[in-house]
Amino acid sequence: MASRYANLLTSKLAALAIFAVATCAGSVVWGQAATPTVLQVGVVGGIAVDAESVLNRAGQQIDPATAASISNSLQGVDNDIDRASELRMVSLKSLDRQIQNCVRDGKEIPVEVQFMAGLQRVEYLIVDQENNDIVLAGPGEGLKTDAYGNVVGEKSGTPAIHLEDFLTAMRTANSARTGQGISVSMDPTAEGVRNLQYFYDQHSFSPQLVNQVEQAMGAHTITLTGVPKDSRYSQVLVAADHRMKRLAMGLEHSNAQELPSILEMAEKANARRMRGAPRMWMECNYQSVAKDEAGMIFEIRGQGVKVLTENAFFDRQGKSRVQRKQNKFAEKWANNLTERFEEVSEVEPVFRDLRNLMDLSVISAIIAKNRMLEKMNLDLAAITDDLVQMPSRPVPSSVPTECSYVNIKGNYVVTASGGVQVDSWAVAGNTQVDPELIKTSTLALASHDTNRWWWNAN
């Protein structure tokens, strides 16, 4: 039965793909001939992810036995890492040697290596000419596990940098420059859109038809570019996009205050309809990269992540079309999360995990863009090549549809869409000279102990 709801798809509906990333605790094999292992921890930023397209918020703590196993793995960490520092350095030459020694000796990769000596964020890249080395620097602290089994900073509780993610960023730095770069998107199939349009030609929407609406749309396709589809990096991209969508559409509520969903804002404003279906995605959000005159130190500045939106709809052939006029509620929601990113990401750790990835990809792009390894004749085979193979992580290729809706004065408004884009080369190419940076470089290298692969500034 045709009705005034026949075009809900184009004006009021976008089905939201729901997914999660679930992992098992224990050890996963790295390497080729040798078998060094990596700690497999909990879930990704509180999001459980598996390969079966069942993606959900991890609603409960991990079991005590698993928590104890992960905590025990942290007991052997270098005690000096517990001394928090605003400026902690990691030598890439020595880090590479640490990994190669594990491969050679068939030993497990130490936990402190797996989590980059407790680095919480990579803010500086320093060229150490005297030791023919490249040094990463940023705030660092001791390590602990959170309620979900993730390894986080002992004081800040924010996700630690993962060696896995750094290796992925370094190995994909050049490929991130071409094609679509590094991205994830979740999109309905053209067939699913046509099926849903046909469904609405026959029915008026009502909450009783939600299951049929979801079945008509079918699965959404997850598209990943620029990084291995079975990497932890991909897991975080998927999990961050998933969480953003669920918060935007009101399928879940954040512990952050004053973060109403798009539909809640529309309901409060008594908006009887919304124009199109807002597509929302996350991108890099950095200021110009600062550097000294000689290009011996680089600093990435800015909060790292922003949320953008555009208004879109699907035509009857299932093709996405962009409208010129923005959805004011989606725009307000995106601006709200961007402006409050630091605050919100404290209780939504997957967003800080995402920022870690962006930081690492920007740093890797700076190294590649300036051809640092070639100019220094610096061989980092364990970091840049496949000397060490990383574990394969489960990431779904498709996810089921789930509807979010609200009834405003008899009209049902149903909406959503999204993605993540990491344009690391654009950030790396936007630089400005800051002569004051040489002071940071001098401080960092003055306390360099060549017998250690990491150290704190004195």
Model confidence over 84-117: pLDDT tens digits? 999 999 999 999 999 999 888 888 888 899 999 9
Q: How many residues does the chain have?
A: 458
Contact 366, 125 (CB under 8 A): yes
- In the predicted model, what is the mean pLDDT of the chain? 80
Confidence of residue 53 (pLDDT cuts 50, 70, 90): very low
- Up-side HSE of residue 181: CA atoms within 13 Å toward CB? 16
Q: Which pLDDT score, from 0 to 100, does residue 297 have?
A: 97
Give 288-314 pLDDT, tens digit per residue. Answer: 999 999 999 999 999 999 998 876 555
* pLDDT at residue 124 greater than cutoff 50: yes
Let me know if residue 61 belongs to a domain.
Answer: yes
Q: Which residue has the tokens 């001394």?
A: 83
What mean pLDDT is predicted for residues 225-253? 89
Let me know if residue 86 belongs to a domain.
Answer: no
Q: Please report the sign of the dihedral spanned by the C-alpha atoms of residue 109, residue 121, residue 363, residue 427.
A: positive
Could you tell me whether strands 220-225 and 398-399 are parallel, antiparallel, or unpaired per DSSP bridges?
antiparallel
What mean pLDDT is predicted for residues 144-166? 88
Q: Please give the residue that has the higher pLDDT: either 319 or 349.
A: 349
Confidence of residue 51 (pLDDT cuts 50, 70, 90): low
Q: Which residue has the tokens 């089905």?
A: 15
What mean pLDDT is predicted for residues 127-139? 96
Could you tell me whether strands 277-285 and 418-422 are parallel, antiparallel, or unpaired per DSSP bridges?
parallel
Let me know if residue 209 belongs to a domain.
Answer: yes
Confidence of residue 451 (pLDDT cuts 50, 70, 90): confident
Q: Which of 17-26, 36-45, 50-59, 356-365 has the lowest mean pLDDT?
A: 17-26
Q: Residue 75: how many CB atoms within 10 A of its CB?
A: 7
Contact 395, 237 (CB under 8 A): no
The token duo for 378 is 């610096």
The token duo for 54 is 């069942």
Question: Between the CA of residue 24 and those of 40, 48, 67, 150, 184, what are the distances in Å?
Answer: 7, 10, 12, 12, 23
Let me know if residue 77 belongs to a domain.
Answer: no
d(CA 396, CA 91) in angstroms, rounded, equals 35
* pLDDT at residue 62 greater than cutoff 70: no
Partners of 304 in the β-ladder: 285
d(CA 423, CA 284) in angstroms, rounded, equals 7
d(CA 334, CA 328) in angstroms, rounded, equals 10
* pLDDT at residue 345 greater than cutoff 50: yes
DSSP state, residue 297: E
What mean pLDDT is predicted for residues 17-29? 33
Contacts of 282 (CB under 8 A, 6+ apart): 240, 241, 244, 305, 306, 307, 308, 354, 418, 419, 420, 421
Let me know if residue 253 belongs to a domain.
Answer: yes
Q: Which of 334, 263, 353, 315 is nearest to 49 (CA)?
A: 353
Confidence of residue 150 (pLDDT cuts 50, 70, 90): confident
Q: Which pLDDT score, from 0 to 100, does residue 134 have?
A: 97
What is the value of pTM for the model shown? 0.85
Q: Is 435 left (phi over 0), alpha (psi -120 to 50) or beta?
A: alpha
Number of domains observed in the structure of the chain: 1
SS3 203: coil
Could you tell me whether strands 418-422 and 182-188 are parallel, antiparallel, or unpaired per DSSP bridges?
antiparallel
Share of the chain above pLDDT 70, in %: 77
Largest Cα span, the chain: 78
Q: Which pLDDT score, from 0 to 100, does residue 79 have?
A: 76
Let me know if residue 449 belongs to a domain.
Answer: no
Q: Residue 310: how many CB atoms within 10 A of its CB?
A: 18
What mean pLDDT is predicted for residues 182-211? 82
Q: Choose the most confident range, by mean pLDDT, from 218-222, 284-288, 395-399.
A: 284-288
Confidence of residue 120 (pLDDT cuts 50, 70, 90): very high
* pLDDT at residue 321 greater than cutoff 70: no
Q: Please give the residue that has the higher pLDDT: either 279 or 373.
A: 373
The token duo for 235 is 């897991």
Q: Which of 53-57, 225-229, 422-426 has the lowest mean pLDDT?
A: 53-57
The burial class, CB within 10 Å (0-12 / 13-18 / 19+), for 34 is: middle
d(CA 245, CA 400) in angstroms, rounded, equals 14
The token duo for 381 is 């085979």
Give 64-88 pLDDT, tens digit per residue. Answer: 776 677 677 777 677 788 899 999 9
Q: Which pLDDT score, from 0 to 100, does residue 409 have?
A: 59
Contact 226, 180 (CB under 8 A): yes
Let me know if residue 146 belongs to a domain.
Answer: no
Domain that holds residue 388: 8-65+163-437
Confidence of residue 413 (pLDDT cuts 50, 70, 90): low
* pLDDT at residue 255 greater than cutoff 50: yes
What mean pLDDT is predicted for residues 410-428? 73
Let me know if residue 97 belongs to a domain.
Answer: no
* pLDDT at residue 19 greater than cutoff 50: no
Amino acid letter for position 120: Q
Q: Choose the most confident range, by mean pLDDT, from 61-75, 200-214, 404-418.
A: 200-214
Q: Which of 111, 420, 100 is nearest to 285 (CA)?
A: 420
Output the DSSP codes for 380-391.
-HHHHSTTSPPP
Q: Which pLDDT score, from 0 to 100, does residue 135 have?
A: 97
Contacts of 262 (CB under 8 A, 6+ apart): 248, 249, 250, 274, 278, 327, 329, 330, 333, 415, 416
Contact 213, 15 (CB under 8 A): yes
Q: Which pLDDT score, from 0 to 100, does residue 91 have?
A: 97
User: Alpha helix (H) ranges present in 115-218?
Assistant: 163-171, 190-202, 210-217
